[in-house]
Amino acid sequence: MDPLILALAGFCIMLALIALKVPIGVSMALCGVAGFAQIAGWGAAVSLIASEPASAMSNLDLSVIPLFMLMGSLAVAGGLATDIYDVAEALIGHRRGGLATTTIVASAGFGSVCGSAVATTATFGRVAMPEMLARGYKPGFAAGAVAAGGTLGIIVPPSGIAILYSVLSEQSILQLFAACVIPAMLAVLSYLIAIQISVRRDPDAAPPGEMLPLPARLRAARKAWSVIVLATAVLGGIYSGIFTVNEAASVGVFIAFLFLVMRGKLTRKTFVRILADASSASAMIYIMVFGANIFSYFISITGAAAFIINAIAVLPVPPVVIIFGLVGVYIFLGAFFDEVAALVITLPFVIPLMQHLGYDLIWWGVINIILIGLGMLTPPIGINVMLLNTMYREIPMGVIIRGVVPFICAGIFMLVILIAFPQLSLWLPSVLQ
């Protein structure tokens, strides 16, 4: 069989398996091994099955994933999200739309110690949603703010998705973390603007509250110290050069564990749940990495990536048009597949294309992370939207979807800005080099 036809068949079968709910990593590994065997023989394919997991497990960059997952689980159990939310609420919660603003700001703060969009959404779905609904916020608007805030869990470094992209594309984790800092600020600003526009169009969506006395606000502000200590130890340690990424993650786990113990929240049941959550999340990522690497070998040996690059290279359009075309492809795939799946299954084709077009892979990593966050808000797959609908069955799915529309528009605006001005992502990494 012609290698290109074999690559197309393997890609289509992989998509079908994913659509049938076969895990992403397993789908990619099965198609990669079977396709590789058709070209190189079953002996080479079996050797690949044995060598690739061993190679991935010995990758020090990949070892940071379970550490950050564990740190995030400890932070959730330790109540750090409640602390940062209480601080933001005391300072800005009295304004019209203040609790929604509080949710965005608190989600960004919590994202700096969590690294997971789903965990951030679930946490503030429990912390912020009841408070907003009790204050008379419209359910759709409240849910939209929580869902959008959840995406900051992967945009604000350290991020599990950023680590996954760095490993698969062989880029520096530290550089990608640095590249995400300014886009994360832009994301927060974009969401806050979306809140203000929504509130001005519909003042009843978010009624104002009462301002707390100054002593009460100062007392609440003290709660921020736990998140500040943890985020400073991890991110400050990384950017100052005191710690490597792995060492910083280990320090973060230790500090988060101390907070859990100091607050008297460490029980046997809680500890087992924390380990189970971190282990399952890490195992899922490891399996995706195994599968993606095996599938990349298959695509490479067929020459499919080179064929796509040559086909696109002859198109009479500027490179930026190709970038926006890829963004459209990712949004289309996100309508049917999880956005992380879209990232993993397209990297074997897209990374060589980006290199051919001369784009920085760190910048493209930031664009991918923003796209994944956008996909978490867009139907029908939007994970954050579905999670909130599961948590609050009394709020119809249509109401939640309408509530996230302003934040989707903000995400698209942010995406266009980052594509038009790549230096917003690349300036800080260049300074830290």
From first to last of the 433 residues of the chain, give the pLDDT tens digit.
Answer: 678 888 888 888 988 887 788 888 888 889 989 988 888 888 888 888 877 777 767 777 777 888 888 888 888 888 887 777 777 777 776 777 888 898 998 889 888 887 788 888 888 888 888 888 888 889 999 999 999 999 998 898 888 888 888 888 888 888 999 999 999 999 999 999 999 999 999 888 888 767 767 677 777 677 778 888 888 888 888 888 888 888 888 998 999 999 899 888 888 899 999 899 888 878 887 888 888 888 888 888 888 777 777 777 777 888 888 888 888 887 777 666 666 777 787 888 888 888 888 899 999 999 989 988 888 888 777 788 888 888 888 889 889 999 999 999 999 999 999 999 999 999 999 887 7
State the pLDDT at residue 145: 93
pLDDT score at 266: 85
Joined together, the tokens standing for residue 382 give: 């939007």
Phi first, then psi, for residue 181 (nearest 5°) are -65, -55
Specify whether the CB–CB gap between 376 and 150 falls below 8 A.
yes
Instruction: Please state the separation of Cα 210 from the chain's center in Å.
Output: 34
The region that residue 399 occupies, defined by phi over 0 for left and psi between -120 and 50 for alpha, beta otherwise, is alpha
Helix residue ranges per DSSP H, 316-422? 319-334, 339-357, 361-375, 383-391, 397-420
Nearest to 335 by CA among 382, 405, 368: 382
Identity of the residue numbered 64: V
Report how far Cα 44 is from the mean position of its chain's Cα atoms: 35
**Which contacts of 130-133 are long-range, i.e. CB under 8 A and separated by 24 or more positions?**
131/89, 131/99, 132/99, 132/100, 132/103, 132/206
Measured between alpha carbons, how far is 28 from 171 in angstroms, rounded to an integer? 22
Among the listed residues 390, 385, 420, 433, the one whose alpha carbon sits nearest the alpha carbon of residue 149 = 385
C-alpha–C-alpha distance, residues 213 and 197, integer Å: 28
**Residue 287 CA neighbour count, 13 Å, CB half:** 14
pTM given for the model: 0.82
pLDDT of residue 336: 63
| pLDDT value at residue 418 | 94
